Chains A and B, each alone.
Chain A
Amino acid sequence: MISKNLIQLADAAGYDAISFELGKAKERADSQLFTEAVMRLGRATEATLYAVAREFDVDLKLHIPALAALQESLIGAETMIMKSGGAAEVKLLANVSKKLSLAVADLMECENSRKGISGERVRGNARILNELILVVGDPSSRRRLKKNKELLNSVMNQRNSGAHACPIGSKREIDPGCFPKLAADFQDFIRAVIEVSIGERSRRLMTNS
């Protein structure tokens, strides 16, 4: 269920963390510990994104502070509105709107603010993948990554099912019957990103760009 060939490919390409996580996932799967195996596959997926992003100089922690603060404010306002249920809390959105106006003005005026800065938190997987799509030079490789966006979303939802307790309080395990398909999906994504990365290495070398 976990391909030895993929582990070897990651290893030969110099992606030690990916081959390590895949190897651990294989151990768990071979021991019928499918929930743990899915968690490892999730880590292997993230390790793939991180390794390839670092290789092509994508800053994993880059963000625009004013926009990040806005997102925090919006989440805070949402929580308050739902908790109180009163109309007064809706006014919190006006504060968010005001912050947005200030951020827009700042970003319009100051070129440096648009470049972002490296923060402490690693950006979300989907955002890292989006940025990888931008840095890959070959159009067909970009298309391949784009086609895998939904797959990333799907496998990471499954990873979350493996990593988190069930919200309604019942016991939760990954269904052994579903594991082969799930493992194949994870590996399809990982294989696609690694292969695109090897292609990008070749492109840069053979075209001197």
Chain B
Amino acid sequence: MNRQKQIQELERQVQVWLDGQSDGVRYVRSTGRHLKDSLEVDFLVLQPFPFAIEMMVSSSRGAIQVRAKRFLNQRISLAERFSRFLPVIVVTLESDFLDRFSFADAVFSVMDLPSIEALRENLNLDDAVQRVLKEGDPGEVHFSTSEDVVGRGCGISSFSELVSPHVTFPEKTLAQRLQRTLVPLKAEIEEGDESTSLKKMTPSKNGSMQSPSRSGRNSLLSFIRSRRVWPEFERVLYSFILERCGGEIKAKRFKKGGYQGQISRNVWHASNGRRVVLRRFMTSPGNISLRVQELIAEAWMTRAFTEGGIDAQVLLMGSTGGDVREVKTLKGITMAREPSGPFEIQHINLLEGAGWTVCPWDFENEKPDFIKVLEEIGHD
């Protein structure tokens, strides 16, 4: 049975269960067509007592953990509307993976759902979720306007530009430093890939040798996925921060809150004692909505589980960009650039609502926005 059919079957069985209870059960189902009409969950039961039902089809452990962050984001949205005290149960088709679902107040196989009365007597709120919802609240936040975002648009580089040898960046900027590290690294990795693929060459039916061809776009994606890229990127980034703002960078990991994965964050400790979580982030337009949901959950979790608290969470938000190409204009050859990113004001506002200070990859500027933010926080 494919995933869509599994969900439909689950939905049917949950509805049968609800309708089969004694009189007095009243509920609404999510239509999801309009943001305000969406209930954030599949079923909201209101009588005889309020609780929400989310249906999940379990798959691999990894997929469940990725889904966990998005589920926590759902719980945050639900809490903003119905308070953190609204219980949420997860109903799944299988009975094998019940212990793998994080952030639910209870998890049931659809074959083993209790009566509503029994549920009411035994349902307790999950301690870790309550901690996230209570202590992860960002409080008052600042929202950018469209004008702010447009105003910050200059000097922004996409990842594809940073790894292109054909783009010229201003001297001594972070963009130039990153380019000087990433371009040779990309060439080195591609060279390694080519020698590996040569070894894998096999004769085709007509006898000629075939090599897996790779377009520029695939080459970029392959580079992004390389394990060596991001440590190098961060090494250059952090060295730039320490040079400009002082302080020190410490890695922080936690594995709490019922979340079975691991959250790893780098924290900048300013010399005045303030602490700022730094998060590098890059995505393509197709993934942005899901990634934003995950980042919202991360922001709340980080605040709730960082002992001693943190003073700010800074998100460096960049885009993959497309391939850079040269075009001829009347004035000569000019570099054509992809749009600065897939990020729209609503995504930025959603992240800001979760407590992130969102800064663009304006690494071509002498003083990027995130440096201004860190300077302000680190100022005595």
Contact = CB atoms under 8 A, between A and B. Distances in A.
B26 interface: yes
A140 interface: yes
B6 interface: no
Contacts of B124: 206
A38 B336 CA distance: 53
B169 to A, nearest CB: 45
A5 B37 CA distance: 6
Contacts of B39: 5
Interface residues of B, number: 27
A200 B37 contact: no
Contacts of A207: 85
Contact of A198 (B34, B50, B84, B123): B50
Nearest to B105: A206
B79 A140 contact: yes
A201 B50 contact: yes
Nearest to B81: A195
A12 B27 contact: yes
A199 B82 contact: yes
A14 interface: yes
A37 B123 CA distance: 42
A3 B84 contact: no
Given A3-B37, A5-B37, A206-B87, A201 B79 contact: no
B145 interface: no
A9 interface: yes
A200 B47 contact: no
B377 interface: no
B13 interface: no
30 contacts: A3-B36, A3-B37, A5-B28, A5-B39, A6-B37, A8-B28, A9-B28, A12-B28, A13-B26, A13-B46, A14-B47, A138-B83, A138-B85, A140-B80, A141-B83, A188-B36, A191-B36, A198-B50, A198-B82, A198-B86, A199-B86, A201-B49, A202-B51, A202-B83, A202-B86, A202-B87, A203-B83, A206-B87, A206-B125, A207-B85
Given A3-B34, A141-B83, 13 more contacts: A6-B37, A8-B28, A12-B47, A13-B26, A140-B83, A187-B36, A195-B82, A201-B49, A203-B85, A205-B49, A206-B123, A206-B124, A207-B85
The 6 closest A-B pairs by CB, nearest first: A199-B83, A203-B85, A5-B37, A202-B85, A12-B26, A199-B82
